[in-house]
Amino acid sequence: MQDLRPDPNKIAFVASTARDAEEALERLSLRYGAVEPDDADVVVALGGDGLMLQTLHRFIDTGKPIYGMNRGSVGFLMNEFAEDALVERIWNAERSVIHPLAMTTVDIHGEKSFALAINEVSLLRQSFQAAKLRILVDNHERMGELTCDGLLVATPAGSTAYNLSANGPILPLNTPLLALTPISPFRPRRWRGALLPDRVPVRIEVLEAPKRPVSATADHFEVRDVAQVDIVMDRTRSMVLLHDPGHSLDERILREQFGE
């Protein structure tokens, strides 16, 4: 069996621009040595969840595992920060494999855009007027018109982020589901969203798009004035997160459901 443990001489460090993160980067690089990311067996990310998402996007096609340590504010995706025994922690870490969502948009001018989302794809109204959206799942219309502030499709890894704030369900990491969650739905007033098989494509059409403009965002990539958004899980791409034993992403998601 292939040894998946990283070479202790092949660790790369990346950090956010926060002072604590930059200082940690300097100390850890001196203590453990540092190589360029292209030459690394593992990448250590120092910052918060925003930095972790940027790092996952940066190395999405490399297969390099990412071990995060919290030098930010939230740090749901990160391990606790400690400078000692870093190599041993990485060697003993639990691996979580996640897949991104692929978002393809067409705007009101016919221009197409493509982006990947690790947490969610969200649609939001751009003006004072509510958005009107048509929802198709697996090429079948499921809702002819949803009047709302917006709508999002979240992965299990992203279900505790924006999705949870919008009262969407928390999904265990290994569940083959996506959360389809409305944002401030007005009509149908009592609709609270749906759980979808992660193998099916989702299409959102913006009704009255020029009059009721809507933006679409895949993590940090935004497209404005969209007319149509197609979303599907891309299983050809995968990312590996490393977490200390007992603090895996699965365990964190489970704890979040009990308010821990």
User: In this structure, are 110 and 177 located in the same domain?
Assistant: yes
Supply the pLDDT for residue 8.
64
CA separation, residue 43 to residues 14, 35, 50, 71 (Å): 7, 10, 16, 15
User: In this structure, are 136 and 183 located in the same domain?
Assistant: yes
User: In this structure, are 121 and 21 located in the same domain?
Assistant: no
Scanning the structure block, which residue is given the tokens 């404005």?
224
- CATH code, 252: 3.40.50.10330
User: In this structure, are 80 and 167 located in the same domain?
Assistant: no
Task: Name the nearest CA neighbour of 157 among 74, 79, 80, 101.
Answer: 101
Question: Is 67 a known ligand-binding residue?
Answer: no
Backbone angles phi, psi at 28, to 5 degrees: -70, -35
Supply the pLDDT for residue 208.
97
User: In this structure, are 227 and 114 located in the same domain?
Assistant: yes
Task: Name the nearest CA neighbour of 221 among 60, 110, 86, 76.
Answer: 60
Question: Is 119 a known ligand-binding residue?
Answer: yes
Supply the pLDDT for residue 260.
61
For 188, other C-beta atoms within 10 Å of its C-beta total 13
- State which residues of the chain have pLDDT below 70: 1-6, 8, 259-260
Question: Is 181 a known ligand-binding residue?
Answer: no
Q: Are 183 and 216 in contact (CB under 8 A)?
A: no
Scanning the structure block, which residue is given the tokens 């003993």?
92
Instruction: Out of 41, 49, 138, 250, pick the active-site residue.
Output: 49
Structurally, the chain folds into a number of domains equal to 2
How is residue 210 annotated by DSSP?
T
CA atoms within 13 A on the CB side of 103: 29
Question: Is 165 a known ligand-binding residue?
Answer: yes
Residue 193 lies in a domain: yes
User: In this structure, are 94 and 105 located in the same domain?
Assistant: no
Residue 1 lies in a domain: no
Supply the pLDDT for residue 230.
98
Tokens of 128: 């004072």
Is residue 49 annotated as part of the catalytic site, yes or no? yes
Residue 38 lies in a domain: yes
For 106, other C-beta atoms within 10 Å of its C-beta total 17
User: In this structure, are 67 and 148 located in the same domain?
Assistant: no
Residue 6 lies in a domain: no
User: In this structure, are 31 and 108 located in the same domain?
Assistant: no
User: In this structure, are 139 and 201 located in the same domain?
Assistant: yes
User: In this structure, are 117 and 201 located in the same domain?
Assistant: yes
- 51-82: burial string, b at 16+ Cβ within 10 Å, e else: bbbbbbbebbeeebbbbbbbbbeebbbbbebe
Residue 5 lies in a domain: no
- CATH code, 131: 2.60.200.30
Question: Is 163 a known ligand-binding residue?
Answer: yes
Supply the pLDDT for residue 4.
53
Residue 2 lies in a domain: no
Is beta strand 120-125 parallel, antiparallel or unpaired with respect to 150-154?
Answer: antiparallel
Is beta strand 11-15 parallel, antiparallel or unpaired with respect to 66-70?
Answer: unpaired
Q: Are 75 and 48 in contact (CB under 8 A)?
A: yes
Question: Is 160 a known ligand-binding residue?
Answer: yes
The span from the CA of 188 to the CA of 229, in Å, is: 21
Tell me which amino acid residue 128 is. Answer: F
Residues 152, 153, 157, 160, Cα dihedral to 10°: 30
Residue 181 lies in a domain: yes
* Residue ranges making up the domain that contains 124: 101-233
Residue 217 lies in a domain: yes
User: In this structure, are 76 and 110 located in the same domain?
Assistant: no
Question: Is 209 a known ligand-binding residue?
Answer: no
Peptide bond into 169 cis (omega under 30): no
Supply the pLDDT for residue 1.
37
Tell me which amino acid residue 237 is. Answer: R
Helix (H) or strand (E) holding 250: helix 249-256
User: In this structure, are 37 and 149 located in the same domain?
Assistant: no
